[in-house]
Chain A
Amino acid sequence: MASWKPYDEMKVMGQRQPRLDGPEKVTGRARYTYDQRPPGMLYGVLLTSPHAAARVVAIDADRARALPGVRAVLTDIHPTGNVRFAGEYVAAVAAVNKQVALDAVALIEVNWQTRAHVVTLWEAIDEDAPRVFADKDNVTESERGDGDVDAGFSQAETIVEAEFFTQVQTHSPLETHGSVAAWDGDELTVWDSTQAVHGVREGLAKALEMPANKVRVICHHMGGGFGAKLGPGAYSVIAAKLARQAGAPVQLMLSRKDQHLSVGNRPDSWQQLKLGATKDGQFTAFECTTWGSGGIGGRGGVSQPYVYSFPAWKQQHHDVATNTGGARAFRAPGRPQACFAMEQIIDEMAWKLGLDPLDVRLRNDGNETRHEQWRIGAERIDWPRWRRREPGAGAGPIKRGVGMGASIWFTGGRGTKAQMDILSDGTVEVRCGTQDLGTGTRTLVAAVAAEELGLPIAAINARIGDSDFPYSGGSGGSTTAPSVAPAIKNTAEKAKAELAIVVARHLGVAADTLSFVDGTVRVASGQTLSWREACAMLGANAVSVQGEWQEGLSGSNVAGCQFAEVEVDTETGRISVIKVVAVADCGLIVDRLTTESQVNGAVIQGISYALLEERIMDSETGRMVNADFENYKVLGALETPEIDVILYDQPERGVIGIGEPPTIPTSAAVANAVYHAIGVRLRDLPMTPDKVLRALEGA
């Protein structure tokens, strides 16, 4: 099995390496899909459904076609003509500029036949609710479990029952979904804001009924995805069709509104939980009934029972269809919802039993790594001091409290391939069909290659984000680092071995007497060549090798825990997060600086989910009423707390992904801290001031 060199011998990996594409991004030179301007490019705009449930009877686009500057109009882009949410794409226009395209879309007349719709989980579960799909119920039930729950509860000395609600959250990447499509004969090039260049290529080829090897998908930079850009988008296919009709490249980027409506979200949840424990805090059984709505897409799952061990448990889940945009994977799908409810009911149990909430967790947490993380986090937030404070006991209208939550994420990663060229002038290029979402993947690729070749990171040209490069999977599930890093190491190892053979032959020594250190090639006998001198020996025969993912270099089962300190103004209901201690499970860290950023970002998104974000649907019109960035609130600079990031590294576990785990427990930790501060529990996300005041009134 493959292995990494000792951590303390590493010169590039594990260091604080500024990301390689930083200079391009801070100067505006980085070209995102949205910035591509191939010559003659047209601007595409979509006509979307204003109705949540309707049939398209007819579309009259004659006036749009006649508008000067319009070059392509598509009226057949909806697969069935049967619209199931407000925001579905029904027609598209490409024109010489965006204004003309918008004017043209406004000239398209659609004859709609509307049906009754249902846009909230609450209404959809009603027996008399309109059906989202004519041929099936809105609710799909399933059951999972393990052990004898009744026996478990009969052994319990205390039982806590509680109900929790979480909202729909939209991904809201700052670069909306979109593509630029350009045809050259029967070959298609698509710049796509995507988490999966290879996946988009395959999806496009299938949708356009053309060979995959005639489609090239490029994504050099992309403005965030968080799970919403993992698959091929209908907009990509539409861009390609518009471009074909117009005979010119077409850019089709979704509007901010379309982004909120049509390309995924984190489903809401309604969770009824029941937890049994002995009087010393040992869990005996857990049972829950859950509902979640992924709109028309299903996937409303809630991953209970989350994190902790239960001798017996049962979950009855209801996946609920509504006339809203389908859910997509969103940074640890199903976990933040589950964690918010589970960590609160555990907290409730602990306070009820008069036990330390941390002790109760330690008693029921089977993960040894996390035990150590709990200890570190508790020390950093000074939990021994806080635990002495009774919930709601602080004096005055502004109260402080501390709460906690834990996470686990199971996925590792595999399957990536890569290619490396070493040229006789000493230049090194590594190519891999992965992509950088802002996570630092490009820098990771270069760092691993540099480490293996004994070169500084600047000596590596890391090229990614192109489906012409060797296969790598979609960047989701925190799989990218554990999938890509081993492949790059293996490829660099092979390249180094080939170079060593050539150099050894020139020097008349054995290849295994060479070592590659600090930009030099050293021979055991004492001779040292510079990297360039060594590479010059290649002459006309460059090294060009392929490598792939190897077992033993990456890990999974990513643990972690967080503590939050909050301040609650009991007069205004406003919650301010003061500090978050995030203990992140990092395995072998490739880049300490970008890893810190990942954890910061995950925590910030978690607070945003806890306090601000919520898709609001209007039952009457069936539309989202806050599909912008003013009424859909995303956490800003003024609400950002102090974040104490603790990178808990265990290099022996290899490279692991941490994109998702640190966002999971934040909302739970904040909720428990709010309870600790005011002595009243908030069970409904987001925890806005009105809910705080209502909870205080009811107390």
Chain B
Amino acid sequence: MNEHKNDNEEAQSAVSRRGFLKGIGGGFIGSAAVGTGLLGEQAAAAVTGPPTMSGPQRITLHINGTQRQLDVEPRTTLLEALRDRLQLTGSKEVCDRGQCGACTVLIDGVAVLACMTLAADVGQREVTTVEGLAPEGQMNDLQQAFVAQDALMCGFCTPGFVMAGEALLRTNPTPTAGEIRMGVSGNVCRCGTYPKVFEAIEVTAKKRRS
């Protein structure tokens, strides 16, 4: 019974690895496969061991309502793709390992750490960065509240806080004081702007309700 179960698990994981490859392959399958023949090698690797990818991969990112095609190494994070390739430098790298929230973006409306997400793993999902909340520089209501309440000082953590606050308000339009704190608890501010960040989110929640 035990053996059987193990076999089954292995089979499932092999399938899911191929599914993984297919999933991320969606955006770049044509060019990468034709250009380097890499995908064939990877598919073979998936049968015998862990999948590997190397060399540039063509991906298409759906960002702030536009589609952007780029060639990235598989190890390129979404944050690097945004900052170094697409000139979207609003999202910040502070800790580089998911400890501070400064790189927070929305993927299909959910807060995600861009430094912990591989660019090639985003697929067709819609990415919203802090720039995307303010098309043509027009601040949205939450951004306006951050300015009005002075919920920023050096401002380096601010894009992450804005995105975390936006994600919170989209999933919970009526957050309690405790829920607001919890909603931004993954974000670090060294200048100590927290009290005014809470105010900015609270003010915006009230405004959006009315």
Q: Which residues of A contact B (CB under 8 A)?
A: 18-19, 21-32, 34-35, 37, 43, 97-99, 172-175, 221-224, 226, 255-256, 437-440, 593-594, 596-598, 600-605, 628-630, 634-638, 640, 642-643
Q: Give the complex CA separation of A228 and B146 in angstroms.
A: 27
B152 in complex: contacting residue of A22, A31, A34, A222, CB < 8 Å: A22
Q: Give the complex CA separation of A97 and B147 in angstroms.
A: 34
- Tell me whether B155 and A25 are in contact (CB under 8 A): yes
Interface residue B126 (Cβ < 8 Å from any Cβ of A):
no
Q: Give the complex CA separation of A43 and B76 in angstroms.
A: 14
Indicate whether A34 sits within 8 Å of B153 (C-beta atoms), given known contacts A597-B196, A638-B185: no
- Tell me whether B150 and A256 are in contact (CB under 8 A): no
- Tell me whether B131 and A27 are in contact (CB under 8 A): yes
- Tell me whether A23 and B155 are in contact (CB under 8 A): no
Q: Give the complex CA separation of A30 and B158 in angstroms.
A: 11
Please, which residue of chain A has its CB at the minimum distance from the CB of B97? A628
Interface residue B195 (Cβ < 8 Å from any Cβ of A):
yes
- Tell me whether A27 and B134 are in contact (CB under 8 A): yes
Task: Determine the chain A residues whose CB is within 8 A of the CB of B146 once the complex forms.
Answer: 22, 26
Indicate whether A637 sits within 8 Å of B131 (C-beta atoms), given known contacts A27-B137, A28-B159, A594-B150: no
Interface residue B125 (Cβ < 8 Å from any Cβ of A):
no
Q: How far, in Å, is B176 (CB) from chain A's closest CB?
A: 14
A256 in complex: contacting residue of B75, B80, B95, B156, CB < 8 Å: B95
User: Which of A25, A34, A640 has the largest number of chain B CB atoms within 10 A?
Assistant: A25
Please, which residue of chain A has its CB at the minimum distance from the CB of B96? A256
- Tell which of B33-41, B44-52, B84-92 binds the partner: B84-92
A29 in complex: contacting residue of B90, B95, B102, CB < 8 Å: B90
- Tell me whether B90 and A224 are in contact (CB under 8 A): no
Interface residue B187 (Cβ < 8 Å from any Cβ of A):
yes
Q: How far, in Å, is B86 (CB) from chain A's closest CB?
A: 11
16 A-B Cβ contacts within 8 A? A18-B147, A19-B147, A22-B155, A25-B158, A26-B143, A27-B137, A28-B129, A28-B131, A29-B137, A34-B93, A98-B84, A223-B154, A223-B156, A597-B196, A637-B182, A637-B184
Task: Determine the chain B residues whose CB is within 8 A of the CB of A29 once the complex forms.
Answer: 90, 131, 137
Interface residue B148 (Cβ < 8 Å from any Cβ of A):
yes
Interface residue B192 (Cβ < 8 Å from any Cβ of A):
yes
Q: Give the complex CA separation of A315 and B137 in angstroms.
A: 57
Task: Determine the chain B residues whose CB is within 8 A of the CB of A99 once the complex forms.
Answer: 73, 75-76
Q: Give the complex CA separation of A636 and B94 in angstroms.
A: 15
Please, which residue of chain B has its CB at the minimum distance from the CB of A19? B150
Q: Residues 191-209 of chain B: 1 if any A CB is under 8 Å from the residue's CB, otherwise 0?
A: 1111111100000000000
Q: How far, in Å, is B60 (CB) from chain A's closest CB?
A: 20
Q: Give the complex CA separation of A255 and B150 in angstroms.
A: 29
Interface residue B17 (Cβ < 8 Å from any Cβ of A):
no
Those of B78-135 within 8 Å (CB) of chain A = 80, 83-84, 87-97, 99-100, 102, 129-131, 133-134
Q: How far, in Å, is B84 (CB) from chain A's closest CB?
A: 7
- Tell me whether B150 and A173 are in contact (CB under 8 A): no
Q: How far, in Å, is A483 (CB) from chain B's closest CB?
A: 20
- Tell me whether B195 and A174 are in contact (CB under 8 A): no
Task: Determine the chain B residues whose CB is within 8 A of the CB of A37 once the complex forms.
Answer: 87, 89
- Tell me whether A437 and B188 are in contact (CB under 8 A): no
A600 in complex: contacting residue of B137, B182, B196, CB < 8 Å: B196
Q: How far, in Å, is A291 (CB) from chain B's closest CB?
A: 28
Q: How far, in Å, is B195 (CB) from chain A's closest CB?
A: 5
